[in-house]
Chains A and B, each alone.
Chain A
Amino acid sequence: MIIEIAAEGGVGGTATSALHKRIDVDQQAEPIRQELCEAFEPEELARLAGSPRARGADRLTYRITVTDHQQKSQIFSIREDQLPPQMLDLIDQM
């Protein structure tokens, strides 16, 4: 499984306010691999993308692409405030 993350928005309004990240989950060590698989499960991402957005301004929007072993890609647009802190920390570690 491949996970790609791009970000846009933020106080600068730019598409490069955060790093573009790409990670091959299968290449990761076991504890991290399992954590990534669970966090970036497409059903979970779809649920988060549909969750209510909070108030505020200048938040980032993440475009998360998950490509499975059959090379099928799913893309999710999720605002920063729709992601739980633990998942944001995971993104920062990637």
Chain B
Amino acid sequence: MCFSLTCSTHHPINCIIPPYMLKVMALRGDEKTAQMARTLLKQTEKLREERAEHNSPTPPPAAERGVFVSRAVTEAGSLCCPERRIHDGEFKAALPGKLIRSEGDPATGDADADLAYDGAGEVFGLFAEEYGRNSLDGAGMPLVATVRHRRNYNNAFWDGTQMAYGTGDGKLFQTFLELSVIGHEMAHGVIQHSGGLIYENQSGALNESIADVFGSLALQRSLGQQVHEADWLVGRGILGPGINGVALRSMKAPGTAYSDDLLGQDPQPWHMDHFVTTTDDNGGVHINSGIPNHAFYLFCNYIGGKSWDLPGRVWYRALQNLNNPMATFADWADQTMDAVIELTGMGSIETQMLRRTWKLVGISI
């Protein structure tokens, strides 16, 4: 491989590859390629500061789209069971920690471990039984999770290979082992293995929104809820007992999940008119996700029934066909329109409802 780490010699590869492509390589490449891409990105950022250089991202041509569909739909015979591995972080930061429950083991009596195990099973079932996907990568990868990650840790995350859940500090948060949060983190894995969405600005907010959508679907499906029966909250019950709020986010009413002296005000908008431009939170990925979140909620309400049925299939199909890690909200809306047309036909009532949905949140297609 002939990557050069400097442009001083005008190496053809280093100087030709634009930043957006390097970001895609950092996201999709194997470890070695990703590492080189990240190094080159850092140098490109320095150069860009000097030259104010900027390249517009270009989505791949239509003919190249849909490359993830073949991996996303597994033949029925090969799709069976999850391979769960739950570890105890023992309040330390090193991952994955001590293995405490493997696939097929009986319940441990350790509430955190059993919640992580059962939750992973529910989320696996959603993707497998509803969308024909065999685990996060579509190829049966083990579902590795660590509970009790770090001490008083107010967070849960996907690290690229596994999930990790803190216990919370008991004040701001009291747990992160709630099914919509578990589904959210696992959905980040699905997104990563579906071509990925770069974790900043609009593509990052889409990444967050899609994770919220499938987290919410996992919860609704496990409860057998119809659209109108669901609360559309992400992380219900995880806030500390003294916090004035009900959840991390509300897909039904973005911006209303909490309002508290310690936690602040839920900053999510539901319409493009209130899109937040910020450098915090990777460009507001957890903020502006409220817009596509609300679009999904509206679409489900127009359609009725079970949200993981047609609406979930539309979102899942759109994700598999997107193949644009720098997608904007408008790109995503277009992709969902393509998906609903493929599933229900041109001019169907569902197609009309989805178009109306996007218009209601300020995205015209």
Contacts and interface: CB of A to CB of B under 8 A. Distances in A.
Interface of A: 8-19, 50, 52-60, 80-81, 85-86, 88-89, 92-93
A12 B158 contact: no
A11 B185 CA distance: 9
A14 B188 CA distance: 19
A57 B188 contact: yes
| Chain A binding surface SS class | loop
A55 B156 CA distance: 15
Given A15-B280, A50-B42, A58-B156, A89 B93 contact: yes
Interface of B: 27, 34-35, 38-39, 42, 91-95, 150-160, 169, 172-173, 176, 181, 184-185, 188, 191-192, 199, 207-208, 211, 235, 248, 262-264, 267, 280-282, 284-287
B264 A15 contact: yes
A85 B92 contact: yes
Contacts, number: 109
Given A14-B264, A16-B263, A89-B93, A58 B38 contact: no
A13 B287 contact: yes
Contacts of A81: 159
Nearest to B38: A52
A33 to B, nearest CB: 21
Nearest to B92: A89
B109 to A, nearest CB: 26
Contacts of B27: 55
Given A16-B262, A52-B38, A56-B188, A9 B154 contact: no
A8 B154 CA distance: 11
